[in-house]
Amino acid sequence: MSADFKALQEEILRLKEEKHALILAHNYQRDEVQDIADFVGDSLELSRTASSIDCKMIVFCGVKFMAESASILSPDKTVLLPELEANCPMADMIRVDSPRPVRTSFPGFSNPPAYVYPAEFTLRDIKQKYPGVPVVAYVNTTAEVKAESDICCTSANVVKVIESLPGDVVICIPDKNLSMWAARSTKKKVIAWDGYCNVHERVTPEDVVTAKAAHPSALVVAHPECRLDVLELADHVTSTSGMLRYAASSSAQEFIIGTEIGLLHRLRKENPGKLFYPLRKDMICPNMKKTTLQSVLRAFRENTHVIKVPEEIRVPAKRALDRMLALP
């Protein structure tokens, strides 16, 4: 570590104690940002942890919807997002009222097991078209979208959430890849949204073949935000937290990781005797990498940027999260 990084980290940690704050960092953050965090994990896991710990301030090193989730679950705490322009393109692909243009082609889905709604629709449009059909919102959505939904899900529990709902049809938003992966494991009809993660969507089956050729002894572990034709070639499909557990418990010594490369830092720290390779070296989320030690320090010094979800949105959004958390 450079002397500059060390000095920045020491000042951040001093201010953290002074302000009785908690630093949360998503698994996809820069290595040096993860290293100064009190907790590193996935977005919902971090927000739940923060809500149970006594602190006055939460500095969330992630993207905006993550800071919103922290505000939803910890309304009495000050939540700061160091980089205000750190957004999630997938979360922005769905709006409650005003539509957001997104691509409507489906590489790898010759026979999708669901209807998929394109950009000209809004969440309220699809609810009106299918009255009474429950809406499952991925946690990778804005607070406003969560508030308009019936229940939330994660990439780890999406099937459990779908199965918990009444009826034979569900609407899943916004990730078409996660929805189609879940549709394979339920008899319910899944109505999906045409959203996707830019990082995971770019991976192709050819990338998996190339990575396996380069590392023939490695297991391929892929995130369910990847395309279905990619997931079918993986040895294991799971969330980021699931990847950490799988790598720790597996007897294998080498892994090809099909998610944002930021997770490799934690995988290598927690499994020093094992080898980890990115499925593609360009699996980088530019929004996750916007947060730097400098911006974290600025957040502490200038109280930027405060994320506060209004009560009229926070309450129904929390209801959707609570319904998920109440599942056994």
pLDDT, average across residues 278-304: 97
Token couple for 164: 């918990």
Higher model confidence: residue 281 or residue 105? 281
Q: Is residue 317 part of a domain?
A: no
Q: Quick check: is 302 in a domain?
A: yes
- Check residue 99 and give its pLDDT: 64
For residue 101, is it within any domain?
yes
Does the structure show a pLDDT above 80 at 234?
yes
Same domain, residue pair 139 and 152: yes
Q: Are residues 143 and 82 in the same domain?
A: no
Q: How far apart are CA 25 and CA 61, in angstroms?
A: 5
Looking at 199, 214, 244, the residue that finishes a domain is: 199
Exposed e or buried b for every residue in 9-31, given b needs 16+ CB within 10 A? beebeebbeebebbbbbbbbbbe
Each residue's pLDDT tens digit, 114-154: 566 766 689 999 999 999 999 999 999 999 999 999 999 99
Identify whether residues 156 and 97 lie together within a single domain: yes
Q: Determine what percent of the chain is predicted with pLDDT higher than 70.
A: 93
Q: What is the pLDDT of residue 1?
A: 58
| 193 lies in the same domain as 207 | no
Q: What is the CATH classification number for the domain harbouring 74?
A: 3.40.50.10800
CA-CA-CA-CA torsion sign (269, 271, 275, 279): negative
Amino acid letter for position 34 = Q
Q: How many domains does the chain have?
A: 3
Q: Are 209 and 194 in the same domain?
A: no
Quote the domain boundaries for residue 128.
91-199
Give the sheet arrangement for strand 219-222, strand by strand. Answer: 236-237, 219-222, 254-258, 275-278
Sequence letter at residue 232: E
Q: Give tens-digit pLDDT for 293-313.
A: 999 999 999 999 999 999 999
Of residues 243 and 328, more confidence is placed in 243
109 pLDDT higher than 50: no
In terms of domains, do 22 and 81 share one?
yes
Within a domain: residue 145?
yes
**Residue 297 pLDDT:** 98
Per the prediction, the chain carries an average pLDDT of: 93
Give me the residues paired with residue 257 across strands: 221, 278
Q: What residues pair up with 24 in beta bridges, in sequence order?
A: 39, 60
Residue 86's pLDDT band (cuts 50, 70, 90): very high
Does residue 107 share a domain with residue 60? no
What tokens does 39 get?
Answer: 């907790």
pTM to 2 decimal places: 0.93
What is the pLDDT confidence band of residue 111, given thresholds at 50, 70 and 90? very low
Q: State the alpha helices, DSSP H only, in the chain.
A: 3-18, 31-34, 43-51, 64-73, 123-129, 143-147, 158-164, 176-183, 198-201, 205-214, 228-231, 240-249, 263-270, 293-302, 311-325
- 189 forms beta bridges with 169
β-strand pairing of 135-138 with 151-153: parallel
Domain boundary among 256, 278, 300: 278
